[in-house]
Amino acid sequence: MGRGKIPIKRIENQTTRQVTFSKRRAGLLKKTHELSVLCDAQIGLIVFSSTGKMCQYCTEPLRMEQIIERYQKVTGTRIPEHDSREQLYNELAVLKKETRHLQLSMRRYTGEDMSSIPFEELTELEQELERSVNKVRERKNELLHQQLDNLRRKERMLEEENSNMFRWIQDHRAALEYQQIAMEAKPAEHHQILDQFPFYGEQPSSVLQLATIPPQLHPYHLQLAQPNLQTW
C-alpha cells in the first residue's frame, strides 16, 4: 500500500512544520549536490527558514558571491548599494538633540537659565533636588557612622594593649624591684670589704704599717708547740 498524497499547503502545526523543513532541506541539498556533480552545473542555493536561519549550497570551487555576480550579469540586474551616509546624519542629529537636552537639564540643576522654566517644572525640579539632597545626606551619615565605628574599634584595641602592658608590668614588678635592690646592695658590700683591707691596691712600705693592721684580721694566733717530755 503506497503512501497517501500530502497536500501542498502550509503546515499549521509548528513542530510538524519544523520537522518537515529539516527533512526536506536535507533532501534538497542532497539533490542539488547530485545535480551539480552529475551534470557539471554551477548551482547556488540559499534557503531561509521561518525562524530566519540560513543554509546555502554552492558548487565547488566557486563562491556564492561569484554565482550571484554571474546571475546579475546574465539578467542585467544590479543590487542597489546601500548609502549609509544619510542614516549616519540622522543618528548624529538625534545625538546632538539629546546632548542639548541634557545640557539644558544640567543648567537647571545648577540654578542657571531659570527664566524660561514654568512654575510646574520649577516645583518638580525643587522636589527632585530635595530628594537628591536627602540621598546625599544619607550617604554622608553612612560614611560618618563607618568612620565612628572604625575609631571605636581602634580605641578598643588600644585599651586592650594598654591593659596587657599593665598586667605584664604588675607581673614583673616584684622581679624588677628585687633586681634593683640587689644592684643597690652590691656597691655597699664592696666598700665594706675594702674597708677591711686598708692596703688594698698598694703594698705596705714598712713593718710599722704591717703592725697597724687591725687585730680582727688575725683571729688566729700562733702558739708555740709544747715539747713532748715523755721519756722512753
CA distance 195 to 197: 5
pLDDT at residue 79, as a whole number: 64
Bridge partner list, 44? 58
Name the percent of the chain lying above pLDDT 90. 24
Q: Quick one: which of 63, 27, 28 has its CA closest to 42?
A: 63
pLDDT at residue 209, as a whole number: 47
pTM of the model: 0.34
| pLDDT (tens digit per residue) in 178-199 | 777 777 766 555 555 545 545 4
pLDDT at residue 200, as a whole number: 45
pLDDT at residue 201, as a whole number: 46
pLDDT at residue 207, as a whole number: 44
14-77 belongs to which homologous superfamily? Transcription factor, MADS-box (3.40.1810.10)
3-state secondary structure the chain: CCCCCCCCCCCCCHHHHHHHHHHHHHHHHHHHHHHHHHHCCCCEEEEECCCCCEEEEECCCCCHHHHHHHHHHHHCCCCCCCCCHHHHHHHHHHHHHHHHHHHHHHHHHCCCCCCCCCHHHHHHHHHHHHHHHHHHHHHHHHHHHHHHHHHHHHHHHHHHHHHHHHHHHHHHHHHHHHHHHHHHHHHHHHHHHHHHCCCCCCCCCCHHHHHCCCHHHCCCCCCCCCCCCCCC
For residue 178, the tally of other CB atoms under 10 A from its CB is 10
- Contact residues for 43 (Cβ-Cβ < 8 A; gap 6+): 32, 35, 36, 57, 58, 59, 67
For residue 44, the tally of other CB atoms under 10 A from its CB is 19
Domain boundaries, the chain: 14-77
Q: Quick one: which of 54, 50, 70 has its CA closest to 62?
A: 70
Q: What is the mean pLDDT of each run of 10 residues along the chain (232 residues)?
A: 72 86 91 92 90 88 88 79 74 88 77 74 83 91 93 92 87 76 64 51 46 47 48 44
| pLDDT (tens digit per residue) in 70-104 | 888 888 877 666 556 778 888 888 898 888 888 87
Q: Quick one: which of 221, 219, 197 has its CA closest to 209?
A: 197
Question: Which string of b and e fits 53-90 if b means at least 16 CB within 10 Å?
Answer: eeeebbbeeeeeeebeeeeeeeeeeeeeeeeeeeeeee
